[in-house]
Amino acid sequence: PDAVAAAAAAGIRKEALACCLQVVAALESWARPIKEAALRAAEAEPGPAGNVRATSSSLPFMERDGSHSSLNSLAAAAAPNKSPAKAGSSGAAPSEAERLAAAKSTKDQLSKGISLFNSKGPFKGLDWLMSQGLLDSSPAAVSAFLRAQADQLDKAQLGELLGHHEDFAVAVMHAWIDGEPSMAGQAIDQSLRRLLGGFRLPGEAQKIDRIMEKFAERYCKDNPGRFSSADAAYVLSFAIIMLNTDAHNPSAERRLAKADFVAMNQQQGEEGGMVPVLPVGQLEDIFDRVVRDEILVRGEAANKDFASSRTSTRNRLAAAMGWTSLLQPFRALAGGSSSGRSGRDSTNQAQRRYLQEMAEREVVRAAASGNVWCCTSH
């Protein structure tokens, strides 16, 4: 019912705008003889110095400078390579009705491109917008367009584009992160929270990897000396994503402990041993903030309609990061018939806990040694 009502309302708006355009065209046709007569009279009247005087103030029906700035700016902003209105065959300036029709056409094409982006995929939408001359093909222009239209774009599709492996998508992602406000003086989890508020992180490990690598580079550029290298910031950024997924995923059977999070974020020290990428106190503060407040896309926290999609996203992220595969052996131990589960003795439960703890320790050990991915399927 809501979709039908929305479609009906859109049809009514379209018909109403068409009627308005016809009324404007009729008014211009009626006013044209008066405007031409006023123009001839103004040209014939001499000015104070004997020159012909013709000012916009003496022509009540003539356009004043800036009277159509909103329409022109709409068309220019949406179509930098496309003129807002086509002049007539005589080269005369377009009429008011033509300006309105051009602005409406631009808006309709823009809406279609955004709809394709959201429903058919980001590349379909961008290709359409570029083919219509509404969008320049440079990564910087695409990034600026995406940021300007972010409220209308599907956040999951935007995340898929920014994490895609094609060179153009990678360049757009770099332009997007470079266009973020300054990260100077911020804790890394706060900067990451602000970045991920603009799009939904994709559910594939390689896509997450590309985004985190560029984020770490930008963060270190804005905060020189905070980390020993961009690799250390990258490891911590990835660990924050893993912690956010683990701490707020209802499917997780066991949560990552604070000590394990600190142990994950180790790097090779100057003397050969493993040292934390940040002081332990700062790592513990990051852990507390992420566990207390989930990192979410802006606007989703208060929207109950996104509850199921958030759960699905967490599960995909958990699978991408290896948590799902890691838990498969434990779920197998817990499976079986209800009678089997009720008859399971304490020995089996102790064995299950031991296997889970051993696997989690192995993940922490592998992460500390530089092997970020460690699960039963990798």
Helix (H) or strand (E) run with residue 118 in it:
helix 96-120
Nearest to 107 by CA among 84, 88, 89: 84
Backbone angles phi, psi at 334, to 5 degrees: -85, -5
Cα separation, 184 vs 67, whole angstroms? 43
The pair of structure tokens assigned to 284 is 């513990």
pTM exceeds 0.85 for this model: no
The pair of structure tokens assigned to 246 is 């683990």
Nearest to 244 by CA among 281, 195, 277: 195
| Tens place of pLDDT per residue across the chain (378 aa) | 566 777 777 778 778 877 877 787 787 778 778 877 888 887 777 655 555 444 444 444 344 343 444 434 444 444 444 444 444 444 566 777 778 778 888 888 899 999 999 999 999 999 999 999 999 999 999 999 999 999 999 999 999 999 999 999 999 999 999 999 999 999 999 999 999 999 999 988 899 999 999 999 999 999 999 999 999 999 999 999 989 988 888 877 778 899 999 998 998 888 778 899 999 999 999 999 999 999 998 876 544 444 445 555 555 555 555 544 444 444 444 444 444 444 445 555 555 555 555 555 555 555 544 444 444 433
| pLDDT computed for residue 121 by the predictor | 94
| pLDDT computed for residue 34 by the predictor | 82
Long-range Cβ contact pairs of 185-189 (< 8 A, separation 24 or more): 185/223, 186/223, 187/282, 187/285, 187/286, 187/289, 188/219, 188/226, 188/233, 188/236, 188/237, 188/240, 188/286, 189/240, 189/286, 189/289, 189/290, 189/295
Burial class from Cβ neighbours inside 10 Å (0-12, 13-18, 19+) for residue 220 reads buried
Q: Answer whether 182's CB lies under 8 Å from 222's CB.
A: yes
Catalytically annotated residues: 204
SS3 string, 52-105, reads: ECCCHHHCCCCCCCCCCHHHHHHHHHHCCCCCCCCCCCCCCCCCHHHHHHHHHH
For 101-138, letters b (16+ CB in 10 Å) and e give: bbbbbbeebbeebbebbbeeebbbbbbbbbebebbbee
Cα separation, 31 vs 24, whole angstroms? 10
Q: Answer whether 316's CB lies under 8 Å from 203's CB.
A: yes
